[in-house]
A and B are shown apart, each in its own frame.
Chain A
Amino acid sequence: MTLAMSPALSRTLNALGLLGVCAVLAVAFFDQLVFGDLPCPLCLLQRAGFVGAGVGLALNVRFGPRPSHYAMMMLAAAVGCAVSVRQMLLHIAPGDPGFGDPLLGLHFYTWATIVFIAIILGGALMMLFDSQFTFDITPPAWSGLALAAVIFALLMALGNGVSTVLECAGGLCPDNPTTYQLLEDGTLKSLFGR
């Protein structure tokens, strides 16, 4: 028995999934920029896990669904999940307030674990539909939704990269960052003469 799903429907669902991943990254960015909640190293690696999962989704959107694309999405989500579980365990001791402000009662790394597991399960569910895999050599034409989702994801990856350079400069980030190192030490100010 083969469960039916057209490649076009699969690409649409992957584009929606990519927008969902971008929304998660946008919420984290909003918290960082508006509330000044600078991401710790493990937080940054979880964001990288989300962006990596987004690459697998974007490959499905652009080149059509393939098992290898789903595998990439699930591998990146597994890496991100490992990081978020590690951070949960770091704060599991009784009385530990956790890192950062909670959102709807849960810390960001707890939400991250839930979403990473959802991504892995979602990928597994999508792979049940064999009829979506056609392995066309020529990529399908862009839809407006697909193009918007991939460009949004590209901007989120770039934004997080630039933000991390500002926060951590060239090295490893401090465990509990409070300032943007590159802005604080005057490197940029001296570069632009201000």
Chain B
Amino acid sequence: MMSIPFFGFFFAFAGILAGKRGFAVVAFALALIVTLVLFKLHATDPLNISL
């Protein structure tokens, strides 16, 4: 699942190489959203500190 952003951005680069700007922008947006969702899943890891 954590590979999805990389493949999304890969498709964006492929779209750029193929001259498809709209496709690249959509692939970028989806990949960035997935990155944010994955960050939300990991950002709440507890801080390992005893006070």
Name A's B-contacting residues (CB within 8 A).
41-42, 44-45, 47-49, 51-52, 54-56, 58-59, 61-63, 68, 72, 75-76, 79, 82-83, 86, 89-90, 93, 96, 139, 150-151, 153-154, 157-158, 160-162, 164-165, 168, 170-173, 175
B residues in contact with A54, CB < 8 Å: 9, 13
Q: Look across to chain B and name the residue whose beta carbon is closest to the beta carbon of A41.
A: B42
Contact across chains for B38 and A41 when beta carbons are under 8 A apart: yes
Contact across chains for A48 and B17 when beta carbons are under 8 A apart: no
A residues in contact with B17, CB < 8 Å: 62, 150-151, 154
Contact across chains for A157 and B6 when beta carbons are under 8 A apart: yes
Contact across chains for A89 and B1 when beta carbons are under 8 A apart: no
Contact across chains for A157 and B10 when beta carbons are under 8 A apart: yes
How many B residues face the partner with a CB closer than 8 A?
31
Known: A59-B21, A75-B32, A157-B9. A173 touches B39 (CB 8 A): no
Q: How far is the CA of A63 from the CA of B18 in the complex (A)?
A: 11
Contact across chains for B43 and A55 when beta carbons are under 8 A apart: no
A residues in contact with B14, CB < 8 Å: 154
The 5 closest A-B pairs by CB, nearest first: A161-B6, A154-B13, A164-B3, A48-B5, A157-B10
Contact across chains for B45 and A175 when beta carbons are under 8 A apart: yes
Q: How far is the CA of A47 from the CA of B31 in the complex (A)?
A: 13
Contact across chains for A76 and B32 when beta carbons are under 8 A apart: yes
B residues in contact with A151, CB < 8 Å: 17
Mark contacts of B17-31 with chain A using CB atoms, 8 A cut-off: 1 yes-contact digit, 0 otherwise.
Answer: 101010011001001
Contact across chains for B10 and A158 when beta carbons are under 8 A apart: yes
Contact across chains for B6 and A79 when beta carbons are under 8 A apart: no
Q: How far is the CA of A43 from the CA of B6 in the complex (A)?
A: 13
